[in-house]
Amino acid sequence: MNFKNYPMVKLNGRNFLLSIYPSWHTRLFPESILNNEDPSTIRDVPYTNSIFKVFLSGIKGLENLKCGDNLLIYRTSDGQGPALYRSVATSVCVVQEVKHISEFSSYLDFKNYCAPHSVFEEYELQMLYKKRNYPSVLKFTYNFPS
């Protein structure tokens, strides 16, 4: 990645919407917390301060994303009120890499790739690797809140 022009989003490229549940969204994008969320839920840990993010998902089609694709992050509703006030597009990101969980030769390989930039605790990573029900491993740069 070239950081000379960071943050740079080329809008003439491929653009996609990525929906993320609120429980993961606030942990991954603390700068994009909603006004009606409790700010005390934000922790000062490495993945919250990194421009690189790793997220696992079971959404069909993520395997077709390519390096350089734009992602508009959409925080889904938490069901605690009208979606009009509880869901929103929050952030612009750019895909760096997409892997399938089967590409990792071991749990350690998987953990070393994901842990530094992931919202998942080690026990969550272990469960995700074992169950493999979220096979798309998406690495992207967080450019800015929208």
pLDDT per residue as tens digits for the range 65-113:
999 999 998 888 888 878 877 788 888 899 999 999 999 999 999 999 9
How far is the C-alpha of 143 from the C-alpha of 70, rounded, in Å?
10
Q: What residues contact residue 103 under an 8 Å CB cut-off, 6+ apart?
A: 137
Q: Following CA atoms 102, 138, 2, 73 in sequence, which dihedral angle do they give, to the nearest 10 degrees?
A: 170
Q: Given pLDDT bands bounded at 50, 70 and 90, which one contains residue 119?
A: confident
pTM beyond 0.95: no
How deeply is 89 buried, as exposed, middle or buried, from its count of CB atoms within 10 A (0-12, 13-18, 19+)?
middle
Residue 131: pLDDT band with limits 50, 70, 90:
very high
Locus of tokens 């749990």: 107
**Angle subtended at Cα 100 by Cα 62 and Cα 75, rounded to the nearest 5 degrees:** 40
Alpha carbons 87 and 108: distance in angstroms, whole number? 35
| Number of neighbours of residue 16 by Cβ within 10 angstroms | 14
CA-CA distance, 141 to 55, in Å (whole number)? Answer: 11
Which amino acid, residue 47?
Y
The domain spans of the chain are 15-34+43-142
For the segment 41-56, what is each residue's pLDDT rounded down to a tens digit? 555 555 556 789 999 9
Structure tokens at 71: 């992602």
Does 1.10.20 match the CATH number of domain 15-34+43-142? no
Instruction: Please say if the pLDDT value at position 8 is more than 90.
Output: no
